[in-house]
A and B are shown apart, each in its own frame.
Chain A
Amino acid sequence: MGRRILLIEDDVETADYVARGLAEQGHVVDRAADGRQGLFLASDGGFDLVILDRLLPGLDGLSVLRGLRAAGVATPVLILSALGGVEDRVSGLEEGSDDYLAKPFAFAELSARTAALLRRGEGRAVAETRLSVGDLEIDLLARSVRRGGRPVSLLPREYKLLEYLARHAGRVVTRTMLLEGVWDYHFDPGTNVVDVHVGRLRRKLEEGAQTPILHTVRGAGYRLAADP
């Protein structure tokens, strides 16, 4: 289902690339090429998501963000930035953005994060106590996991990892999303530590089960889903 996304980005090539990709996924993308126009359009509030470049002519991205939040607009904001250092990411999030993605980025990464933010916008008022994906069941209160009725014993971090995947069930979750969401690490450790953790979780989930449930999506990340 398509959603309305505002893309505030001055670099035409990046904007074309992102807009085309999102449109192919069925979203309606409006574009603004500078900060002032972007703030004007975004203040309207009719968007489900704002993708905001940090370095913009007219009014820089963080000022646009501050302006939006000051005007009481709560639309989720994803910041895109050529400033990809740890400190830039953290300061971007502190300024009230909902996610931060450093340039250059893979479209899969943007797509996964966009999907996560749009889902958040749907709002789940009722606090969940259980999550289930296919024959996988997670009891959020007891912090216990069962697959096909059989208990699966997980380490605390494996449980957190599974919970994060389950909350994004059916959608692609990238390695950096996992690093940020599960470990709160906003930098890229050179070695692919996430793959090893996911590998172990997968082994425990799929041990003795008939069907795979934790899928690797090539060039993008992972997806927890009953169907392949």
Chain B
Amino acid sequence: MTLRTAPTTVRVALLAALLALATSLTLLGFIYWRMHDDALTTLRAQVAEESRVLAEVSRAGGVQALAAAVAGEAAVDDPALIVLLLDRAGRRLAGSPLPAPAARLTRAGGFRIVAVAGGEAGVIARPVAGGWLIAGRRFGERLAWQRTLERSLGLAVLLAGVLGAGCGLIVARYVGSRVAAITAAVDRVGAGAMDGRVPLAGSRDAFDALALRINRMLDRIGSLMAELRLLTDGLAHDLRSPIGRLRTRVERALASDDPATRDQLLPGVLAEADALTRILTNVLDIGRMEAGARPMDPLDPAALVADVAEVYAPTLEDAGLALAIEVDDALPPVAGQRQLLAQALSNLVDNALTYAAEGRRLCLFAHKREGGVALGVADAGPGIPPALHGEARRRFGRLDAARSAPGGAGLGLALVDAVARHHGGRLELSDAQPGLIATLLLPASGPPLDMGRFAS
């Protein structure tokens, strides 16, 4: 982990330094380009011409003629002009006064810029018979100023390099420390300290935003883990009793020599096994719904209610419950999965059958609500005290021993709740005084359907 952060920091530092340098260079280059002109080129051409002409003279007329020409040139009243003849030892033979120590001038090799008294000059030194011919020109004010600027720009480039490196280091240290804080927190969580969180700098910048998101993710993971623990605890607890009953029946059947007794015990074993399977299937369904979405179809709420009512009507009648169906006209369709919604409604009816049969009536309804539809079941049984509504919809949140019928694992309302949330809605529990109203509030998915078919 730490091995990886070091090169990243170095890269960030390099990048920052390079960016700073590139910016400075661009600016300096721009200044140079604007200020620079061909004054130096002109001066150079002039000096070269001067030197060439005098060299011609030397070749044609020898040293005497050259000395005369140099003297003549030097006599012209041009303060910028430098023209002189030196002997091999560097002593002046003719021409302008020495502008700089001779050693600085007597170097062959074309045009050079040398420091002279009162500024700089461009010179060309040529070896001639018996000495050196020096031709040159002092820089004018403009050229001198340009030279100063060039030198300053050079220095500025150097400075920019140093400053860029400094910037890079500062940025790298800052980024490094913020990243290190996040890494440390994530490492702590990774090592098992699930309550570890990334500290916020309070600067509301991207690092804080990242830290906030990581913390939110950790919160979600934490609550999922808590839920998972609850689920496994609940499963372990609720599977224990049916497995226990199963075991007892099998043991008794094995111990019995009487085939009749055995035949009496075995169906119970199957029933317990089926109840176990049902619990697992429900848990699986809830988990699936929480895990993700599947495509939804437009469904008619009235048809859903009618179907469930049709399935349960004979059973309710046998149980002595009067069934009422209340369906509003012009209900909007809901986007959903028919199987899940039908299962949710079936669960509600099933709950009422199990816990509220003494109420003698049951109502299946589909009402219009603001922005959606309310589907559900109202019974006239003992109901659930409002304080326990939260507990009732929790997975395995079985209210009390009295309410738990054999085989019921308290998953009914948890499943209904999961179905409602899966469809972007929620499960609402309310008091029917007496009785319980369990309502699935689902968002509408379009304009109301033509309900003519279902009006009856």
B residues within 8 A CB of A40?
none
Residues of B within 8 A of A87 (CB): 285, 288-289, 294, 337, 339-340
B350 near A85 (CB under 8 angstroms)? no
CA distance A186 to B285 in the complex (A): 12
User: How close is B177's CB to chain A, nearest CB, in angstroms?
Assistant: 48
- How big is the A interface, by class? 20 to 34
Q: State how many angstroms separate the Cβ of B379 from the closest Cβ of chain A.
A: 14
A196 to B342, CA, bound (A): 19
With a cutoff of 8 Å between Cβ atoms, the chain A residues found around residue B318 in the complex are: 196
- Rounded to whole Å, the gap between the CB of A19 and the closest CB of chain B is 22
Q: A117-171: which have CB < 8 Å to B?
A: 157
Residues of A within 8 A of B143 (CB): none
Chain B residue at minimum C-beta to C-beta distance from A182: B311
Question: Which 7 A/B pairs are nearest by Cβ-Cβ distance?
Answer: A85-B285, A85-B284, A196-B314, A187-B343, A189-B346, A196-B315, A86-B339
B353 close to A (CB within 8 Å):
yes
Residues on A facing B (Cβ under 8 Å): 83-91, 102, 104, 106, 157, 183-191, 193, 196-197, 199-200, 219
12 extra interface residue pairs, beta carbon distance < 8 Å, beyond A87-B288, A90-B339:
A85-B285, A88-B288, A104-B273, A104-B277, A188-B281, A189-B343, A189-B350, A190-B278, A190-B347, A191-B315, A191-B350, A193-B314
Q: Which residue of chain A lies nearest to B263 when distances are taken between CB atoms in the complex?
A: A218
In the docked arrangement, what's the CA distance between A200 and B91, Å?
A: 139
Assess the B311–A85 pair: CB atoms within 8 A.
no
- Chain A residues closer than 8 Å to B339, beta-carbon distance: 86-87, 89-90, 185-187
Chain A residue contacts of B285, Cβ below 8 A: 85-87, 187
Pick the residue among A85, A185, A197 that contacts B342 (CB under 8 A): A185
- B310 close to A (CB within 8 Å): yes
Q: Is the CB of B314 within 8 A of A197?
A: yes
Q: Which of B309-360 contact A (CB under 8 A)?
A: 310-312, 314-315, 318, 337-340, 342-343, 346-347, 350, 353-354
Residues of B within 8 A of A (CB): 267, 270, 273, 277-278, 280-281, 284-285, 288-289, 294, 307, 310-312, 314-315, 318, 337-340, 342-343, 346-347, 350, 353-354, 407-408, 412
Across the interface, name the chain A residue whose C-beta is closest to B408.
A190
* Chain A residues whose C-beta falls within 8 Å of the C-beta of B353 in the assembled complex: 191
A91's closest neighbor in chain B, by CB?
B294
Most chain B CB inside 10 Å of its own CB: which residue of A86, A183, A196, A219: A86
Contacting A83 at CB < 8 Å: which of B284, B343, B346, B350? Answer: B284
Chain A residues whose CB sits within 8 angstroms of the CB of B311 once the complex forms: 183, 185, 189, 193, 197
A84 CA to B288 CA, complexed, in Å: 11
Q: Are B281 and A85 in contact (CB under 8 A)?
A: yes
Contact B281 A84 (CB under 8 A): yes
Chain B contacts of A88 at CB under 8 A? 284, 288
Return chain B residues, CB-CB under 8 Å to A84.
Answer: 277, 280-281, 284
**15 intermolecular pairs with C-beta atoms under 8 Å apart:** A85-B281, A85-B288, A86-B285, A87-B339, A88-B284, A102-B277, A157-B310, A185-B311, A185-B339, A186-B339, A190-B347, A191-B353, A197-B311, A200-B314, A219-B270
- Which residue of B is nearest A192, CB measured? B315
Known: A85-B281, A185-B342. A193 touches B315 (CB 8 A): yes
Q: Does B350 lie within 8 Å of A188, measured CB to CB?
A: no
* Whole-angstrom CA separation of A106 from B266 in the bound complex: 14
Name B345's closest neighbour in chain A (CB-CB). A189
A103 vs B349: C-alpha distance in the bound complex, in angstroms?
A: 26
Chain B contacts of A157 at CB under 8 A? 310
| Chain A residues within an 8 Å CB radius of B267 | 219
Can you name the residue of chain B whose Cβ is closest to the Cβ of A157? Answer: B310
Give A187 to B285 CA distance when docked, in angstroms: 10
Report Cα–Cα, A185/B347, bound state, in Å: 13
Give Cα A150–Cα B350 distance, bound, in whole angstroms: 37
Contacts of B294 in A (CB 8 A): 87, 91
List residues of chain B with CB within 8 A of the CB of A104. 273, 277
Bound-state CA distance A112–B338 (Å) is: 26
Establish whether residues A86 and B315, one from each chain, have CB atoms under 8 Å apart when the complex forms: no
